[in-house]
Amino acid sequence: MDHIHACDGLRAIALMGVIAFHVWPNKVPGGYFGVNIFFVLAGFFISRKVYYELQWDNQFDLFKYYRKRLMRLYLPLIPLLVAVSLWTYFVQPNVYANVQNSMPSVLLFYNNIYQLMGSHSYFATHGNFQPFMHLWALSLEMQFYLLYPLLILLLQRILGKRWRASGSTLLGLSVLSAVLMAVRYHAGVDPTPIYYSLLCRMFAFTIGGAAAFYYLSTPLAECLQKGISKGIRNLMVVGCLVVIIATYFFMDYQNRFVYQGGMFLYSLLTAFCIILIYPQDLGAARLLSSRFLRSLSQRSYSYYIWQYSLMVLGADWFSFSTTPMAVRHLLHFILLLMIGEVSYRLFERKGMSYPKCSRSLVTAGVLILLLMQINLRPIMAENPSRPITPIPGQVTDEHPQPTEPPRPTNPSENNDGELGSPEPKVLQNLRLTVIGDSVLDMAADQLKHCLPECTIDAKISRQIRQGVEILKALNAEGKTGDVILISLGTNGDFKEKVLDQYYQLAGEKPLIFLTTVMPDSWEQSVNDKFRRYAATHHGVYVADWYALAKNHPEWFYRDGTHPKPEGVRQLVRLILQELVSSDLAIDNLDTME
């Protein structure tokens, strides 16, 4: 069977989309569509293999097929699992428990099911350091590899070598799968359960399979080549690629259309693009066959399995670092290129024929992993335990907050209950309105203790856009205080026009934005927007929690976001200081009088 170099270009485009989504989820919100391309390509080429063997050899060696699939996936995967396990055990022990717990599901290819049972969200990873979360896709693909040949052999027994009929059957199954996804989708609910489901994602694989059977068993290729000029076909390929890539930037995972037809149509478009470039007689196909894209495609598996793990370990490593995000990303990609190249050369490069030494290394790796499944505890000093668990509930903004923080701290539970807050008497009668998320919720009791007249509306997983509606409701009821404090931004980036809405709703009342502390990529972006807005708008202020707390990891729980009791005291003290130092409290008390 000939190698279709143009399809390497599609695979490279898929890889770039997925990695971009992992690294810049707010800038490339639809990069996860790259997984669909992987699935369609897998369905197409597995179907092509089955077709040629059954059509010309009248047999399909199922055992040989399974062995090659397993070796192809395991050889690069085992070194990753061993390396991450040993690294987290010795160097980042606070992450080791997550690694150890998910290991069996990765090795046995049921990680998508494991994550669903544990209510892990693919789209809600803030503060949740799971280095193997991305391997759900690998498990889904292996489940397809195991079941799909059995389906094709069953169809061959029923339909014989009527490949168009088999293709039509696969297309029918694709429609059923897409309908199941559409029916199971509910707006405002985390879509991870349908995103991880083999039944709901099957259409991408079977569309690829149907395309292979239609194309290989009919004169479709000849009709395309003779019936449509190269110029038109080139334009069609370019159009397909424009839509494929543009989707990365405009199709947020919360969009209803994604699950109610969007992914299905995207898979059809990808399959159509494969059919167009398959003859390799087009200029667009030669562009997709460029050396760069082919090189990236050859290393795509190694890059894919290593990238997310390195990113998560890096996020934990830099949790309390002020290193610019651009520098972190540069270090991340340099490390990824180096490790990915080593992995490719040792375990993937064509022609290696799975030498005995590689199989021995894999065997040794599996033994190490099995031994580490014994309840070994990290030997490093114990880090603060993470008192949070994933939330499978509502997800409604650009990036969700998946974890439930520890319960709020009550002033009576502190060592001394004293904040040493400035000018407490000045603040006693101040009517402060606070809208926040889980971070502010933890400080609510202490803030209320210091400001008895304040109104606090704080909720876990709240997005900054949701706060606008809350402030509108408070204004409509006449319950807005004299000063407004917004403690949102932990759960995702946003457009600056959202701040304009707060500014308009605040009217003449002072508006304070609280900066955020977290290990995620949007931390600097969110805080910079708050600071810029305060610098250019009268009556807007910033309480800089980031500047005060970022260098104090001892104030936070292990997620690097939610404050411990001492952190809570410092957070409340910062808010009080901002009220006094900017004379907001004094000015508004004078107005009240």
More confident of the two residues 8 and 419: 8
134-162 mean pLDDT = 93
Q: Is residue 13 scored above 80 in pLDDT?
A: yes
Q: Identify the three-state secondary structure at position 457.
A: strand
Q: Report which of 220, 556, 188, 250 is spatially closest to residue 406, judged by C-alpha positions.
A: 556
pLDDT digits (tens, 9 = 90+) for 240-249: 999 999 999 9
pLDDT digits (tens, 9 = 90+) for 462-515: 888 889 999 999 999 998 998 999 999 888 888 889 999 999 999 989 999 999
DSSP string, 212-265: HHHHHHSTHHHHHHHHS-HHHHHHHHHHHHHHHHHHHHH--TT-HHIIIIIHHH
pLDDT digits (tens, 9 = 90+) for 73-102: 999 999 999 999 999 999 998 899 889 999
pLDDT of residue 114: 93
- Long-range CB pairs of 406-412 (<8 Å, 24+ gap) are 406/442, 406/557, 406/562, 407/442, 408/441, 408/442, 408/443, 408/444, 408/445, 408/568, 409/442, 409/443, 409/445, 409/446, 409/565, 409/568, 410/445, 410/446, 411/445, 411/446, 411/449
Gap between the Cα atoms of 573 and 450, Å rounded: 10
Q: Is residue 216 scored above 80 in pLDDT?
A: yes
More confident of the two residues 560 and 373: 560
Q: Is residue 173 scored above 90 in pLDDT?
A: yes
pLDDT digits (tens, 9 = 90+) for 39-53: 999 999 999 999 999
Q: Is residue 402 scored above 60 in pLDDT?
A: no
| β-strand pairing of 483-487 with 511-514 | parallel
283-308 burial, b if ≥16 CB within 10 A, otherwise e? ebbebbbeeebbebbbbbbbbbbbbb
| C-alpha separations of 313 from 60, 129, 134, 318, 332 in Å | 42, 7, 13, 9, 10
Average pLDDT over the chain, rounded to whole? 85
- Provide the sign of the torsion angle of the four alpha carbons 93, 99, 104, 107, taken in this order: negative
Q: Is residue 411 scored above 70 in pLDDT?
A: no
Q: Catalogue all structural domains in the chain, each as residue range(s) with its CATH number.
A: 5-372 (no CATH), 411-592 (3.40.50.1110)
pLDDT band at 393 (very low <50, low <70, confident <90, very high): very low
Asked whether the beta carbons of 396 and 186 are under 8 A apart, the reply is no
Q: Identify the three-state secondary structure at position 437.
A: coil
329-342 mean pLDDT = 96
